Amino acid sequence: MAECHPVGFQWVMEAKARGAKVIHVDPRFTRTSALADVHVPLRAGSDIAFLGGLINYVLSNEKYFRDYVVAYTNASMILSEEFADTEDLDGIFSGLDQERRFYDPQSWQYEGLELRSPAGERDQDLPDGAGAADQAGVGQAARGEAHGSGGAGLPAGQPERDESLRHPRCVFQVLRRHFSRYTPEMVQEICGIPPDLFRRVCELLTENSGRDRTTALVYSVGWTQHTVGVQYIRAAAILQGLLGNIGRPGGGIMALRGHASIQGSTDIPTLFNLLPGYLPMPHAATNRSLDEYIDAEATSKGYWANMRAYAVSLLKAYWGDAATAANDFCFDYLPRLTGSHSTYDTVMAQLAGDCKGYFLLGENPAVGSANGRLQRLGMANLDWLVVRDLTLIESATWWLDGPEIDSGELRTPDIATEVFFMPAAAHTEKDGSFTNTQRMLQWHHTAVEPAGDARSDLWFAYHLGRRIRAKLAGSADEMDRPLLDLTWDYPVSGALAEPDAEAVLAEINGRNADGRPLSAYTELKEDGSTSCGCWIYCGCYAGGVNQPARRKPGREQSWVAPEWGWAWPANRRILYNRASADPDGRPWSERKALVWWDADRGRWSGHDVPDFVADKDPHYQPPDGATGPAGLSGADPFIMQADGKAWLFAPAGLVDGPLPAHYEPQDSPFSNALYQQQRNPVRQVTPYQHPGNRMQPSGASPGSDVFPYVATTYRLTEHHTAGGMSRSLPYLAELQPEFFCEVSPELAAAAGLEHLGWATIVTARAAIEARVLVTERMTPLIVQGRKLHQVGLPYHWGSVGYSTGDSANDLAAISLDPNVHIQEVKALACDIRPGRRPRGPARLELVAEYQRRAGITGRTGMEV
Amino acid sequence: MTGAQPPGGITLADLIRDGLTPLLDRADPAAASGHEPGQPRVGFFTDTSVCIGCKACEVACKEWNHVPEDGLALTGMSYDNSVGLGASTWRHVAFIEQPRRGAEDPAGRPDGEAGGEMRWLMASDVCKHCTHAACLDVCPTGALIRTEFGTVIVQEDICNGCGYCVSACPYGVIERRPEDGRAFKCTLCYDRLGSGLEPACAHACPTESIQFGELDELRERAAGRLEQLHRSGVPQARLYGEDPADGVGGDGAFFLLLDEPEVYGLPPDPVVTTRDLPAMWRRAAVAALTLAAAGVASFAAAGPVRRR
């Protein structure tokens, strides 16, 4: 966190100054470790074993917050008899279709609920050839990310519960059994963490959790960029649920983002499978009408039951008066999913010649995405490419100076791709908002006009749309109606005709039938009388005031600081904060009081905006058949969940299992010590089979020893992601001027590497070179009885800029988490050898030689 | 501005008679340099125990002061690629890796207790703005001056590049820029102080490792922080450069360190290099007077003889 989020880390330092203990879990000793009380080095890719070990400690030592667990989690729910755990099936859950590589989640359901037909079956009526990555069904390919604001739906019915938590099939007992073999010894075996160090973490964590104390977990892409990334976070959620650390001050699970508004880019998404506010993008086959879409995607209880109001209001924001009840509010105008259109599927489509045009807006996949070579080869197969960035990044210049030009794979005169570079304005050159990881919107104002041809993204999108609409004007083709009927009337100003960003904010906030700004999403209607560009942002322009622009200093307001910026939903700073009070509505402790039930006024009250129906009595019980928010009791704090509970066990919503289980990374030098099943059985690899994307033998398979080390990629404070914002700047480039790899003195001695000399790092995909930094901060670990050396690789470099170097991500395979299609770049088996890499075609030959030595074919690593 | 005049309006005769000692005793160097009293002396307290090594101070300094980029060389000195303070590096973050004890067996390390683990010390260094600033003493053009804030700055338009200050600095801070010839160093953002702003580095520091303020208050704060660290089991913590009785009369920019100063590349016992100048001058003056007296005496003695 100190490395990548130094500004945010000031608050950790402030907490530390007040006595907080800071534990840092990372393969390397980083700037964060330097300031932490405890540093826990572990093997990259082993965190579920580590977190599972903590969960096992909490359960077997009775360290959980029992009252919280019984009342607020689904620990007491009884599971269907059909459910079989990884303990029963040696590493897989019930419902696995080995052939089609997907789980039918039917058997993961609570007892007593009517079962819905599973997603895989529902998708069978999709058109053939629906896309590269839909082996698991479009429904699954597209739905993993749709839970950014609440969980998946549940079938109708009343689940059975056992509040004594003794029923052998209740979630609590299933959990206990599932994690029973995640012992300190197993943690040592898999992660390389000594038991005494592990015990210290267990003690610090549990001593600091309960009625009076809370612990926060903070993670970033070190947890997510794995073939089981989502399950890492699930493991953290289980731990925090058991410890009662959700919805309470000082608790939570904080996702640190890689860019200033990554949270914003999923809220108002840049993802193929989402509409604003986590409304799923409709399917081509299963969401044929608005009714069908709502029926399939809405929940019956909780606030997601009101999904129709959110969706209709969005359609009204898009198409205004053209959207009427008679025409399904133009639901047919929305694009439909026919398969996975994630970034990696798009690359495969480029390579296959199906994808002809590509927009890159502030993204540098030639450096930042997994398997850079395939990214560049894909772009070389396009008809046209538009790059909008601050400087000429590698994704705009690969045709001139990319590694494939040097290797002779590509010749500049032969490349037919027409590349358009559009210089972009920086955030200081435009108005707009950032949404940070606390879901807080903060406004920024133009400080200077953009120089030269640089323009804001808003300018680009607005004027591009305006010009296209002008070209289509008068068209009678039905296909053009969605564009021509769009509300596209933003006021512009100044010499550049810059659209008014605040007008966009007002549209996002939404308006009532009189055109006046709405103040809360509870005002949204399903009859078309309200419009709202993103239901969770409703209220950000309440009263016609730009709420994100508020900057009242913290010292002039309460410690919650509600008047600094604006946080969705409804300006709540801590989600699910009903959980900060006990079932009767009293704070669990005075020290951790946040919101509480004011019986005299018959309302919830407190420091933060209560995340609950304001006047719902804590003892309210829903009548039979109640739906929506009224379907949840007064003691169900998790109001975006279909049952109002924190899910220790996920009966729906995940495609790779209801519980986290440790699987080895796609390419790993180790066998799975816990199960026969080596890898996540439903990870996404088969759609990316390509000669340029070969996988490696793992564990005990022959050839695995060709790649004996584990590399992990990361960022340095001095640079920003793929380098477009930092390698072009002398003041930053000089602080970390060259690509380097970090190795321990022992690895240096073993591999013959010299400090400040060169090393070549090789995987089945690429060979890259880096200067060698020998440092004690890299710790060899004892894993499964043998010494493991890890290699640290900052991934900022590429072929252009003030500071250049090879790209670490060229080493990575396209092997993805099946829920959210994120690439595994945090744990890579590799080899490292002294000296510079070969030049020209010999570079590819070196990789081919490694493939031969390891016996790699197109089938390697493709096992279920 | 005092320019080329000896500070405090003192004449050469005063200097010959008394040396620099009266100046050195004055607690208020700005006033001693002839500034109107009333402006409190300001400085930096750099608490390295909370430094996260982000180098925001280095970048903010360069941005504000238009200090040029200083070469793209990977040094291999941990994450330190700016090496040290110099003409084009006015804030410098040192990175010191201290391997854990018993590094042989990673499994045999103590259970995470502080002291048993590896340490990575980070510290942002800067010009010390000495109470007795030798650079200022030796500057023949008056380019180096004491400001009304008690800080020491180089006036770029007056410096002639003689380099006397470079060898005079006991910390090795000030340096000539090769392509330019003139000497440069931290100004404690003199141009920001005048507008009521804190220096750029302190403003950019996310963890308040670099604290700017009135020196007296900073010294109080530092003493409190030192006590807190000692209480919480960090006996290695110490202050560096805060003592007005040290060899430079105390620094305007002082530090809290977690190890010996040498570990950070700081001199353990810095002494103003012009300390011995008064004594030398006195000796020279005595020698000259003796010589003159001898001459006079010889004439006096010879006089009558000649007359005889």
Q: Is A550 on the interface with B (CB under 8 A)?
A: no
In contact, B202 and B51? CB cutoff 8 Å: no
Q: Are residues B207 and A734, on separate chains, in Cβ contact within 8 Å?
A: no
Q: What is the pLDDT of residue B289?
A: 80
Nearest to B263 by CA among B30, B96, B74, B26: B96
Check residue A258 and give its pLDDT: 82
Indicate yes or no: CB of B54 within 8 angstroms of CB of A29: no
Segment A32-50 mean pLDDT? 97
Q: What is the mean pLDDT of residues A521-548?
A: 97
Running DSSP on this structure, what letter comes out for residue B261?
G
Cα(B247)–Cα(B134) distance, integer angstroms: 11
Contact call for B53 and A733, based on CB within 8 A: no
pLDDT at A414: 97
With a CB-CB cutoff of 8 Å, which residues 826-855 of chain A face chain B? Answer: none
DSSP string, A468-487: HHHHHTT---GGGHHHHTS-
pLDDT in tens, A803-840: 999 999 999 999 999 999 999 999 999 999 999 999 99
Torsion sign over Cα A482, A484, A488, A494: positive
pLDDT computed for residue B283 by the predictor: 79
Q: Give B308's pLDDT tier (boundaries 50, 70, 90).
A: very low
Return the closest-CA partner of residue A245 out of A72, A460, A102, A115: A72
Which residues are registered as beta bridge partners of A357? A384
What residues contact B55, with CB distance under 8 A and at least 6 apart?
A: A717, A718, A735, B82, B93
- Quick one: average pLDDT of B8-33? 60
User: Nearest residue of A to residue B72 by CA position?
Assistant: A734
Predicted TM-score (pTM) of the model is 0.92
- Which residues are bridge partners to A23 per DSSP? A38
Per residue in A199-217, pLDDT tens? 999 999 999 999 999 999 9
Work out the number of other CB atoms within 10 angstroms of the CB of residue B143.
23
pLDDT at residue number B14: 52
- Please choose, from the candidates A654, A648, A649, A629, the residue with its C-alpha nearest in 3D space to the C-alpha of residue A299: A629
Confidence of residue B25 (pLDDT cuts 50, 70, 90): very low
Across the interface, do A736 and B79 touch by the CB < 8 Å criterion?
yes
Q: Can you give the pLDDT at residue A360?
A: 97
In chain A, % of residues over pLDDT 70: 96
Average pLDDT over residues B160-170: 96
pLDDT tens-digit map of A255-273: 998 888 899 999 999 889 9
pLDDT at A592: 97
Model confidence at B19: pLDDT above 60 = no
- Output the CA angle A703-A709-A711, nearest 5 degrees: 125
User: Is A733 within 8 Å of chain B by CB?
Assistant: yes
Mean local confidence (pLDDT), A463-489: 97
Q: What is the pLDDT of residues A773-799, one digit of tens each?
A: 999 999 999 999 999 999 999 999 999
Contacting residues of B for A756, CB less than 8 Å apart: 74, 76
Task: Search chain B and give the residue with CA nearest A772.
Answer: B76
For A467, phi then psi, to 5°, come to: -70, -40
d(CA A131, CA A135): 9
What's the rounded mean pLDDT across residues B276-292? 77
- Return the pLDDT at A842: 97
Give the span between the Cα atoms of A456 and A366, in whole angstroms.
23
Mean pLDDT of chain A: 94
Which of residues A276 and A142 earns the better pLDDT score?
A: A276
| ipTM, interface predicted TM-score of the complex | 0.91
Q: What is the pLDDT of residues A68-91, one digit of tens each?
A: 999 999 999 999 999 999 999 999
Question: Of A9, A13, A30, A185, which to mutate for an interface test with B (greatest number of B Cβ within 10 Å)?
Answer: A13
**A706's torsion region: left (phi>0), alpha (psi -120 to 50) or beta?**
alpha
Residue of B nearest to A188 (CA): B107
In whole angstroms, give the CA distance from residue A235 to residue A222. 14
Report, as an integer, the average pLDDT of A751-767.
Answer: 98
DSSP reduced 3-state for B93: strand
Higher-pLDDT residue of A152, A404 = A404
Q: Look up residue A27 and give its two tokens.
A: 């393969």
Q: What percent of chain A has pLDDT over 90?
A: 90
A10 reaches B (C-beta below 8 A): yes
Q: Is pLDDT above 60 for A563?
A: yes
Say what the pLDDT of residue A133 is.
38
One-letter identity of residue A717: T
The verdict on A777 touching B (C-beta cutoff 8 Å) is yes
Interface of B with A (CB under 8 A): 50, 52-56, 58-59, 62-63, 69-74, 76, 78-79, 81-82, 97, 99-100, 103, 106-109, 111-112, 114, 117-122, 206-208
List CB contacts (< 8 A) between B58 and chain A: 731, 735
Contact A803/B79, CB-based, under 8 Å? no
Residue among A7, A734, A780 minimizing CB distance to B81:
A734
Answer whether A19 touches B (CB < 8 Å): no
Task: Report which residue type is found at A47.
Answer: D
d(CA A648, CA A666): 26
User: Which residues 6+ apart lie within 8 Å of A387 measured at CB?
Assistant: A360, A393, A395, A396, A419, A420, A421, A422
Q: CB burial class (10 A; 0-12, 13-18, 19+) of residue B308?
A: exposed
pLDDT of residue B1: 39
The answer on pLDDT for A62 being more than 50 is: yes
Q: Which of B50, B76, B111 is the closest to A756 by Cβ?
A: B76
Average pLDDT for B179-192? 96
Q: Is the pLDDT reported for residue B24 higher than 60?
A: no
> What pLDDT score does B22 carry?
47
Chain B residues in contact with A194 by the CB 8 A cut-off are 106-109
Identify the bridge partners of residue A761 per DSSP, sorted by sequence position: A768, A832
CA distance between the termini of chain A: 35
Query: Is A781 close to B106, i.e. CB distance below 8 A?
Result: yes
Which of the four pLDDT bands, split at 50, 70 and 90, describes residue B292? confident
